Structure 1
Amino acid sequence: MSYKAIIHVGNNWYSFGTSNGQDVQGASSTKLQGEWERFDGPILAIDEAEWVGKQATYGIWAPDVYQRGSDKKFIMYFSAFDKEKKDHRCIGAAISDDIKGVYHPESDFVQCNRTASGAIDPSWFKDDNGKQYVVYKTEIPQNWLEIREVNNSGPKEGVEWAGNAQKLLQMGSQGFDDGGNMEAPYIFKRGDTYFLTYSTHVTMNESYDVQYATAKSVTGPYTRVKKPLLETTNDFGCKLIGPGGASFQQDSGDQKSTKMILHGLTEAMDINKRVVYTATVQVDGDRLSVGSD
C-alpha cells in the first residue's frame, strides 16, 4: 500500500494511492503533517473501463488526481491491466463530481504503449501557458519517462489527448546507474525551472530513491542532478528506508518551496506495508533540498 497523489482543495489535503489492485485508496487531512482519515470505498468504478482486463485483480496502480478548471470536476489518472495484453498495464482517466469519488472511467482515453511492456505511474502537470500534460513511465525493455499533452479546456479537459508522446529521460542515461529501473515521474515548476522527479533502483529494498532532473522547457531537454533528493538515511530523526513515489504540491504561491508526499519501507522490507512521509522541499534556483519538518 502506498500514497502517491497530493492535492490541496479548500482547507484540506488529499492523497490517493495504490491499494489492493481492485480499487485505489484515498485519505484527507486538515494538515499535511497531521492525522489522515481514510475514505470509504469504492473510489474508482474500474469495471466501467472497457479497455481494462481483469486477471486476479484489475491491477490498479499509482493514481494521480487534479481539479480541472472548466467545471471544477476531479480527474483521476491511473494504470490498470490491459485487456488486449493481459500482463501489461495501460493508463486511463476517470471523472468525479466529488474528490472522494466515485470516479467514472473515460473508455476512450487510454495510453497503452503496446509495442513495449505497457505504461504506468501517470501524473498531471499544468504549465504557465495553460497547457496540460500527463507524464508517465513506459515499462522495460524501453523504460522511458514520457510526456503527452491533454486537452486543457471544455468538457474533454484532461480526458482527451492533444498531442503525441514525447520522450524525456531513459533509464541509464547521462552516465547514471539506475539499478535497472526508472519510474514514478512527477513534474512541477518553480521560477523558470521545470523539475522532473523520479525514483530509481529496486522498489522493495533500501536502494530505492528519489532523484530529479531540470529543464527550461516542460518537454526538455532535462539534465539529471547527481545528488539524489532522498535516499535511505537516518538524517531526519527516523530510519528512512527506500524512499520513493514522490508527489509534490504543484502551485503553492511560494517559489522557494513545495510540499512533498512519498512512501518508504519499514525494516520488514514488505512492499505491501509501506509507510507514508511528508516533507517540505526547499528550492534554490535549479537545486532541491529536503527541510527538517
Structure 2
Amino acid sequence: MRFLTSRSTLVALVLPFIPAVLGSPYKRSGSYLALDTDFPDPGFIGTLDGKWYAFGTQGNGKRVQIAESNDFTTWSLLDTEGLPTVGAWEEDALHYAPDVIQRGDGKYVMYYCANSKQVGPNKDDHHCVGTALADHPAGPYVPNDKALVCDLDKGGAIDAAGFRDKDGTNYVLYKVNGNSIGHGGDCNNGVDPLVPTPIMLQKLADDAVTPVGDPVQVLDRNTADGDGPLVEAPSLVLADDTYYLFYSTHCYNEKTYDTRYATASSITGPYTKNNEGFLKTGDSPNLIAPGGATVCGCGDRMLFHGWCDKSMKQRCMYGASVSLKGGKAAIV
C-alpha cells in the first residue's frame, strides 16, 4: 500500500488494446522526472490520437489528479477533477491509486480505492476498490454506487489495476491490505504474527466492473525472496506470451521501497519472482524509493513515483523506457 494504514499503482495498468504502433515512435531512454509535483501512484492510458493521460492519488486539491502529454516526456497537470462526485459506498476522503482502461464499448473505466462507509476491524483504515465510468479519458468519471471489492475482514482492498487479456477477457488486480490490521513495526506488519498482503486477480465481465467467479491469489510477500513486510501496487502486462507482474515491496516511506517483477506463462500463474529491485533508490540521480509503477500494454514505457527530494514530503512522477524480452525486464 503506498500509504501504510491510511493508504499505499495499475499499477495501475493501461492500454487495453490500443495498437502497438503507439509504442514504436517512443525514443526516450532511461528514467527521468516527468512531473515535478506531488503525483503518487500514477496509472496511465494512451489514445489513438497520440495523447497520454496519467492519473494520480489524491492531491493538489483533487480527489483524482490528471496529467496530459503529447509525447510521454513532457507532462502537464490539468486543472481537472477526475472524480467530481463519490459513490454511495464511500466516504469523501482518501482516494488513492487510480487506474484507467478502455473497455470494448469505448467507455473508460477507472479503478480506485477510498474509505468505505462500512468499517472493518481496523477503525482507521477500511479501504475498498471502486469503479467509475467516463466517455473521455480525462473524465469526468461517474462512480458506481457499489464497491467492486472490499475484503474488510482481511484489512481492506487497495491498488487496483485493470488488465485486458489477449482474448479480450477483462481482469482487475488488487492488493489485500493486510498490513492495515497488522501488529506494528515496519509498514505495521513487522511484528509477528505477520499478516498476508496478497495480490489478487479477479476476472470481470465485459463491462469491466462485474466480478466473475472468485479471485485468485497470484503473489504474496516472502522474506526469503527479499520482500519487505508487504507487496503492493500490481501492474500486469503481456509480452511475447509472457505475463510480467510488476509490484512494489518494503515500506513506501523508506528508502528501501522498490519495484520488482515476476513472470508467468499463464495469467493465473504460478509467477516466478526475479527477486531483485527493478527500480530502486540510487538507480538515477536523486531517485528515492521508486514504486507504484505502471507499465503500458505496448511494453516499452512506464510511469512510477519517487520522492521529489530528500525531505521525502512529496512524491513526484517519473517515467522510464522499458524492454520486455525473453522473460526479462529492463530499463533501457
Fold conserved between structures, TM > 0.5: yes
Q: Which has the larger displacement, 3-12 or 117-126?
A: 3-12
Question: Within 2, Cα distance between the matches of 1:288 and 1:177?
Answer: 18
Report the alpha carbon displacement of residue 275 of structure 1 after superposing the two structures with TM. 1.5
* 2:205 pairs with one of 120, 136, 151: 151
Q: Residues 95 and 192 of structure 1: is their aligned pair in 2 closer, same or farther, counting only changes over 3 Å?
A: same
Q: How many Å separate the matches in 1 of 2:41 and 2:211? A: 26
Question: Which of 1 and 2 has higher RCO (CA within 8 Å, sep 6+)?
Answer: 2
Aligned residue in 2 for 1:38? 77
**1:270 is matched by which residue type in structure 2?**
M
- Deviation of 1:165 (Å): 1.0
* CA distance in structure 2 between the aligned counterparts of 1:68 and 1:15, rounded to whole angstroms: 17
Find the residue that maps to 2:290 and give its secondary structure: strand
Which residue does 1:115 correspond to in 2? 153
Shift of 1:29: 0.6
Q: Please report the RMSD computed on the Cα atoms of aligned residues, expressed in angstroms.
A: 1.6
- Answer yes or no: is 1:73 the counterpart of 2:107: yes
**How far apart are 1:22 and its partner, in Å?**
5.8
Residues 22 and 60 in structure 1, CA contact (< 8 A), matched pair in contact too: no
Which of the numbers 142, 145, 150 marks the counterpart of 2:196?
142
Residue equivalent to 1:245: 292
Aligned residue type for 1:183:
E
Q: Taking structure 1 as reference, are residues 123 and 260 closer, same or farther at Cα in structure 2, changes over 3 Å only?
A: same
Q: Deviations over 1:58-102 (max 9, x none)?
A: 1101000111121x1111000000111152100010001121111
Match of 2:309 in 1: 267
Matching residue within 84, 88, 93 for 2:118:
84
Counterpart AA for 1:62: A
One-letter identity of the residue aligned with 1:172: N
1:101 is matched with which residue?
A: 139
Give the match for residue 278 of structure 1. Answer: 319
Q: 2:218 aligns with which of 165, 168, 181?
A: 168
Letter of the structure 1 residue corresponding to residue 88 of structure 2: E
- 2:101 touches 2:110 (CA, 8 Å); kept in 1? yes
More strand by share: 1
Contact 2:128 2:147 survives alignment (8 Å): no
Q: Distance in 2 between matches of 1:81 and 1:42?
A: 18
Counterpart amino acid of residue 75 in structure 1: V
User: By how many angstroms is 1:106 displaced?
Assistant: 1.1
**Is 1:125 paired with 2:163?**
yes
1:229 to partner: Cα distance = 1.1
1:170-214 CA-partner distances (Å, limit 9, x unpaired): 1116x2232212110110010010001100011012101010100
Greater Cα shift, 279-288 or 100-109: 100-109
Number of residue-to-residue matches in the alignment: 272
**Structure 2 residue aligned with 1:59, among 94, 100, 107?**
94
Instruction: Return closer, same or farther for 1:178/1:46 CA change in 2, 3 Å cut-off.
Output: farther
Unpaired runs of 5+ in structure 2? Answer: 1-37, 179-194
Per the alignment, in what secondary structure is the counterpart of residue 112 of structure 1?
coil
Corresponding position of 1:228: 277
Number of the residue aligned with 1:207? 256
Within 2, Cα distance between the matches of 1:181 and 1:159? 26
- 5+ long unaligned stretches in structure 1: none
SS of equivalent to 1:115: helix
Judge conservation of contact 2:197–2:221 (CA < 8 Å) in 1.
Answer: yes
Partner amino acid for 2:52?
W
Secondary structure of the equivalent of 1:110? coil
Alignment identity in percent?
34
Residues 1:14 and 2:53 are matched in the alignment: yes
TM-score relative to the length of structure 2:
0.78
Cα displacement (A) at 1:15: 0.3
Question: Aligned in 2, Cα 1:81/1:32: closer, same or farther, shift over 3 Å?
Answer: same
Q: CA deviation at 1:160?
A: 1.2
Check the 8 A contact 2:220/2:230 in 1, yes or no.
no
CA distance in 2, matches of 1:145, 1:103: 26
Q: TM-score, normalised by structure 1?
A: 0.88
CA distance in 1, matches of 2:310, 2:252: 14
Match for residue 331 of structure 2 among 263, 281, 290: 290
On the 8 A contact 2:303/2:319 being kept in 1, the answer is yes
Give the match's secondary structure for 1:213.
Answer: strand
Superposition deviation, residue 3 in structure 1:
4.5
TM-superposed deviation, 1:163: 2.1
Q: More displaced, 19-28 or 213-222? A: 19-28
Note the alpha carbon deviations across 1:47-66, whole angstroms, 9 max, x for none: 3x111024xxx110100011
